[in-house]
């Protein structure tokens, strides 16, 4: 499963210089830029998810970005430089990637939306994940409350 920051183009209004709005923060969508930089610099979701949990737990300031990056073994100078140099390009990339998402929550697995307009059910998400990787331990369970890891 791939997690990514969420941004969108706002019809008729420009929220920031890149012309995008953010799902859960005021413009200029700096946290989304930092998030994408963490993903790109770490090369995987295994550091991004703990970084994101750290950010949600500790706060969402630049100091928190540094604390959480360091806790995940990432060089904050590289994360900061990525955001400063590539921030606008990142937002444009995210808008393009998120263009197909027309409501939240939306879960896509292998590029296909899972669930209806009320959000995906656990059963649908588990089925899609297990179809993509049947070797996961929870995929052999018939318990609908099992967690897919």
Q: Which of 120, 109, 127, 124 is nearest to 139 (CA)?
A: 127
pLDDT tens, residue by residue, 97-124: 766 655 555 566 666 666 554 555 667 6
CA dihedral 61, 98, 1, 43 (to 10 degrees): -60
33 and 52 share a domain? yes
pLDDT tens, residue by residue, 57-93: 887 788 899 999 999 999 999 999 999 999 888 887 8
Residue 109: which domain range?
100-149
H helices within 10-139, ranges in order? 30-42, 45-58, 62-71, 76-98, 122-132
pTM exceeds cut of 0.85: no
149 and 105 share a domain? yes
Domain boundary among 80, 98, 116: 98
Q: Residue 108, SS3?
A: strand
Does residue 27 form part of some domain?
yes
Domain boundary among 98, 118, 136: 98
pLDDT averaged over every residue in the chain: 73
């Amino acid at each position: 499963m791939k997690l990514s920051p969420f941004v969108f183009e706002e019809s008729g209004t420009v929220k920031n210089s890149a012309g995008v709005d953010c799902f859960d923060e005021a413009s200029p969508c700096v946290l989304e830029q930092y998030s994408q930089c963490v993903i790109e610099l770490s090369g995987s979701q295994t550091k991004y998810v703990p970084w994101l949990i750290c950010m949600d737990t500790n706060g969402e300031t630049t100091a928190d970005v540094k604390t959480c990056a360091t806790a995940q073994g990432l060089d904050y100078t590289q994360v900061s430089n990525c955001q400063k140099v590539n921030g606008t390009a990142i937002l444009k990339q995210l808008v393009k990637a998120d263009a197909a998402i027309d409501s939240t929550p939306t879960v896509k697995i292998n590029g296909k939306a899972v669930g209806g307009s009320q959000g995906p059910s656990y059963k649908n998400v588990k089925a899609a994940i297990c179809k993509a990787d049947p070797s996961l331990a929870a995929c052999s369970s018939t318990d609908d409350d099992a967690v897919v890891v």
